[in-house]
């Protein structure tokens, strides 16, 4: 019985030690106002990591969805917290606009997680350069058709990978979409209503004066 339990315990321990931390993916700001022809930007952010230590983020591959009837996608830029792409510290495998309202974003870091487990030990290390929350990418759109009083949603679709600095999957506890609104104008009292209000105020003033004289 003891020999039987030992490998089971070992497998359970391995599962615990290889399970990376839990994170949240969100598009920010969560809500913003815009009218047709406006340019709007959204930041894809990750939170729930540990600043200056494990867990750090080593790669991500996911889709963003949007309504092509309301918005035109005009481009994206990746954040620098997985490494400098220009220096060969990270690779951009993003497919960009796939059509049909789908945008693919995919970045892989070539940096090692930390100075303790490193092989090449050249630095910088992911644990050192990443805060607990940061921007993965910025997406740019142009508002096309968004009638007054309506809104459109840009959201996080399929998530194909989100791994730590060792390649272990990070547990995703939630995602948050973004809403772009064209708010209805604030109601303004009609001229007739204003006139009635003024007459009422004048009448109340006259009544107060008569009572004071009496």
Query: Which CATH number is 143's domain given?
Result: 2.60.40.680
pLDDT at 4: 36
- Residue 205: the pLDDT is 64
pLDDT for 166 beyond 60: yes
Residue 120 domain flag: yes
**pLDDT higher at 196 or 168:** 168
Mean pLDDT of 184-206: 65
* pLDDT, averaged across the chain: 87
The percent of residues above 90 in pLDDT, for the chain, comes to 73
CA distances in angstroms from 169 to 41, 99, 159, listed in the order given? 28, 28, 11
Instruction: Report d(CA 33, CA 60) in Å as an integer.
Output: 29
Domain containing residue 204: 20-209
Domain membership of residue 6 (yes or no) is: no
Q: In this structure, is residue 188 part of a structural domain? A: yes
Does 122 score more than 80 pLDDT?
yes
Residue 15 maps to a domain: no
Does a structural domain hold residue 214? Answer: no
Determine the pLDDT at residue 203.
62
Domain membership flag for residue 205 = yes
φ, ψ for residue 205, nearest 5 deg: -65, -45
In the predicted structure, residue 14 carries a pLDDT above the cut 50: no
Q: Domain for residue 35, yes or no?
A: yes
| d(C-alpha 166, C-alpha 58), whole Å | 7
SS3 97: strand
The DSSP secondary-structure symbol of 170 reads P
Q: How far is CA 151 from CA 38, 99, 134, 155, in A?
A: 14, 21, 27, 13
Backbone angles phi, psi at 127, to 5 degrees: -60, -30
| pLDDT over threshold 60, residue 82 | yes
Q: Considering the domain boundaries, does residue 153 fall inside one?
A: yes
pLDDT at residue 187 tops 90: no
Cα–Cα distance, 8 to 43 (Å, whole number):
43
Q: How many domains does the chain have?
A: 1
């Amino acid at each position: 019985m003891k020999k039987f339990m030992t490998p089971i315990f070992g497998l359970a321990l391995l599962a615990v030690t290889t399970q990376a931390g839990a994170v949240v993916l969100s598009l920010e700001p969560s809500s913003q106002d815009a009218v047709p022809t406006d340019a709007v930007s959204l930041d894809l952010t990750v939170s729930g990591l540990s600043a200056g230590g494990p867990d750090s983020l080593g790669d991500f591959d996911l889709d963003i969805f949007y309504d092509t009837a309301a918005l035109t996608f005009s481009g994206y830029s990746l954040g620098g917290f997985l490494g400098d792409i220009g220096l060969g510290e990270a690779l951009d495998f993003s497919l960009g606009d796939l059509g049909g309202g789908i945008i693919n974003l995919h970045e892989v870091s070539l940096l090692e997680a930390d100075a303790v487990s490193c092989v090449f030990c050249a630095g910088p290390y992911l644990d050192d350069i990443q805060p607990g929350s940061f921007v993965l990418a910025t997406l740019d759109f142009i508002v096309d058709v968004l009638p007054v009083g309506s809104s459109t949603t840009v959201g996080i679709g399929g998530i194909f990978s989100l791994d730590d600095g060792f390649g272990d999957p990070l547990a995703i506890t939630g995602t948050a979409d973004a809403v772009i609104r064209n708010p209805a104008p604030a109601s303004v009292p009609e001229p007739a209503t204003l006139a009635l209000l003024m007459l009422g105020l004048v009448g109340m003033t006259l009544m107060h004066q008569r009572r004071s004289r009496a």
